[in-house]
């Protein structure tokens, strides 16, 4: 079946998901809906038939073309961003390791999400496990199709995540990124460097060789200054240590680096120069935008989705300016408010080939990437038709 006939299927899906969203999802709090999704991922991870079916069926629905970006060949331009498949929180590494060795699924979605959605970034994983923040940590802003979160890097820690995923590595997809975050609250740069490298080594020692690694320098929902790790000297040191560790093992796995929105033009320019110097292949722009949380203005919660779009677009424009000016071999992976064909097109107009999305999964459902790609294709088709008419 051609993708044009699949447009009818996507049309039906779009209306069905919109109805489901209005009747059910929007009536649950964002947090409850998220917990329900994580619970169902645990169940779906155990259904191998579903994995095979979903992969084939979903791929057939999308008009996506393969692309090369950030040193990686991707079957489609849209990648699920870090933050969904990141695992349970633990208060100690011993507990996390015991759970990883037991029959418990400590990284819900590890199996079904790549099968259903294609390329995906797992994590963020920090050196040690984290419980994340207490209370309500996720909100929706429906009017701008935004999400706000202060999950606070809840995860099982790199050692337990690596152990768990290592035991299942034959079942992991090839289009996988692993996102490692700097440890919040650690001020000493030497310790930061050791922790980032140790985290990386846990995955490599388990024989986990993803298509790319992402170093997350930009989590706004922790006790840290979110911009602290994006200072020149620290960025150079952390990225350099990461790349050296891969080089010492003769591994050509590309490094992507995830950065914040809202930095100054000079800071984006400086980051591009550092990335080019040390050999970073792509910059993931951006993480969420720090804003006061809806429940307690004294707390910060990162804004993603429609409310982030303009800030990310601005960041991408500054990054691109410096990439062109310095002729750097770095791709930009846009991540901020990609919710439909038009928002993705705005990034493509700035030379972006690959992008990541999170909020679109909530507002447009599991076939979000196929919908966005189909809206792009429809746009291109209309453009071509109009263009050929004007030429005739």
Residues that bind ligand FMN (CB under 6 A): 81-83, 86, 124, 138, 147, 149, 151, 153, 179, 216, 258, 287-288, 304-305, 308, 335-338, 357-360
Nearer to ligand FMN, 10 or 338 (CB): 338
Sign of CA dihedral 110, 115, 116, 119: positive
Pick the closer one to ligand FMN by CB: 141 or 320.
141
CA distance 20 to 140: 16
Query: Under a CB-based contact definition with an 8 Å cutoff, are residues 227 and 184 in contact?
Result: no
Smallest gap from Cβ 162 to ligand FMN, in A, equals 16
Residues 287 and 258: beta-carbon distance below 8 Å: yes
Q: Which string of DSSP letters, residue by residue, matches 115-168?
A: HHHSSEEEEEE-SS-B----S--EEEEGGGTEEEE-----B--HHHHHHHHHTT
* CB-nearest residue to ligand FMN: 83
Specify whether the CB–CB gap between 208 and 162 falls below 8 A.
yes
Shortest distance, CB of residue 344 to ligand FMN, whole angstroms? 11
Is residue 374 within 8 A of residue 7, CB to CB? The reply is yes
* Nearer residue to ligand FMN within complex by CB, 183 or 216: 216
CB of 82 to ligand FMN, least distance (A): 4
Q: Which is nearer to ligand FMN, 208 or 257 (CB)?
A: 257
Q: Tokens 């498949």, residue?
A: 85
* Helix, strand, or coil (residue 289): strand
Round to whole Å and give the CA distance between 314 and 329: 20
Torsion of CA 118, 124, 128, 131, to 10 degrees: -100
- Coil, helix or strand at residue 233: helix
CB of 358 to ligand FMN, least distance (A): 3
Q: Closer to ligand FMN by CB, 210 or 336: give it.
A: 336
Q: Determine the number of helices (DSSP H) and then strands (DSSP E) in the chain.
A: 13, 14
> What is the spatial distance between Cα 314 and Cα 136, in angstroms, rounded to a whole number?
30
CB 164 within 8 A of CB 85: no
Question: Is the CB of 153 or the CB of 323 nearer to ligand FMN?
Answer: 153
Alpha-carbon distance of 162 to 194, in angstroms, equals 17
6 or 299: CB nearest ligand FMN: 299
> Distance between alpha carbon 57 and the CA centroid of its chain, in Å?
23
> Considering beta carbons, is residue 290 or 336 the nearer one to ligand FMN?
336
In angstroms, give the least distance from the CB of 278 to ligand FMN.
20
- Kindly tell me which of 105 and 124 has the beta carbon lying closer to ligand FMN: 124
Closest separation in Å from C-beta 53 to ligand FMN = 27
Is residue 231 a contact partner of residue 239, using CB atoms and an 8 Å limit? Answer: no
Closest CB 37 distance from ligand FMN, rounded Å: 10
CB of 126 to ligand FMN, least distance (A): 9
Strands 354-357 and 212-216 turn out to be: unpaired
**CB closer to ligand FMN out of 222 and 374:** 222
Q: Helix H segments across 301-367?
A: 309-326, 341-348, 359-364
- Shortest distance, position 308 Cβ to ligand FMN, whole Å: 5
Q: How far is the CB of 59 from ligand FMN (least distance, A)?
A: 21
Secondary structure (3-state) at 217: coil
């Amino acid at each position: 079946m051609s993708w044009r006939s699949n447009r009818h299927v996507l049309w039906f899906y779009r209306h069905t998901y919109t109805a489901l969203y209005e009747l059910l999802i929007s009536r649950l709090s964002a947090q409850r809906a998220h917990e329900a999704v994580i619970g169902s991922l645990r169940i779906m991870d155990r259904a191998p038939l579903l994995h095979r079916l979903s992969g084939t069926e979903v791929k057939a629905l999308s008009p996506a073309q393969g692309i090369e970006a950030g040193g990686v060949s991707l079957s489609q331009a849209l990648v699920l961003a870090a933050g969904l498949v990141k695992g349970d929180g633990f208060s100690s590494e011993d507990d996390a390791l015991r759970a990883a060795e037991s029959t418990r699924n400590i990284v819900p979605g590890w199996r079904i999400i790549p099968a259903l959605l294609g390329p995906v970034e797992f994590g963020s994983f920090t050196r040690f496990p984290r419980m994340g923040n207490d209370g309500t940590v996720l909100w929706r802003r429906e009017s701008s199709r935004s999400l706000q979160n202060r999950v606070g890097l809840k995860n099982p820690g790199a050692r337990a995540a690596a152990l768990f995923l290592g035991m299942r590595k034959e079942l992991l997809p090839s289009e996988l990124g692993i996102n490692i975050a700097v440890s919040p609250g650690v001020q000493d740069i030497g310790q930061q460097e050791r922790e980032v490298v140790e985290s990386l080594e846990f995955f490599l020692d388990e024989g986990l060789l993803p298509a790319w690694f992402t170093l997350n320098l930009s989590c706004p929902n922790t006790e840290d200054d979110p911009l602290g790790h994006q200072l020149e000297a620290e960025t150079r040191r952390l990225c350099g240590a990461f790349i050296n560790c891969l080089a010492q093992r003769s591994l050509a796995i590309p490094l992507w680096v995830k950065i914040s929105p809202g930095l100054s033009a000079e800071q984006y320019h400086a980051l591009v120069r550092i990335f080019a110097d040390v050999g970073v292949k792509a910059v993931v722009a951006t993480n969420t935008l720090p804003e006061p949380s809806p429940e307690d203005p004294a707390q910060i919660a990162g804004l993603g989705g429609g409310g982030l779009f303009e800030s990310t677009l601005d960041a991408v424009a500054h990054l691109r300016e410096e990439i062109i000016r310095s002729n750097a071999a770095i791709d930009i992976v846009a991540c901020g408010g990609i919710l439909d064909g038009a928002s993705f097109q705005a990034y493509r107009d700035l030379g972006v080939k690959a992008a990541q999305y999170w909020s679109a999964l909530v507002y447009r459902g599991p076939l979000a990437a196929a919908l966005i790609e189909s809206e792009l294709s429809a746009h291109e088709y209309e453009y071509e038709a109009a263009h050929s008419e004007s030429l005739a």
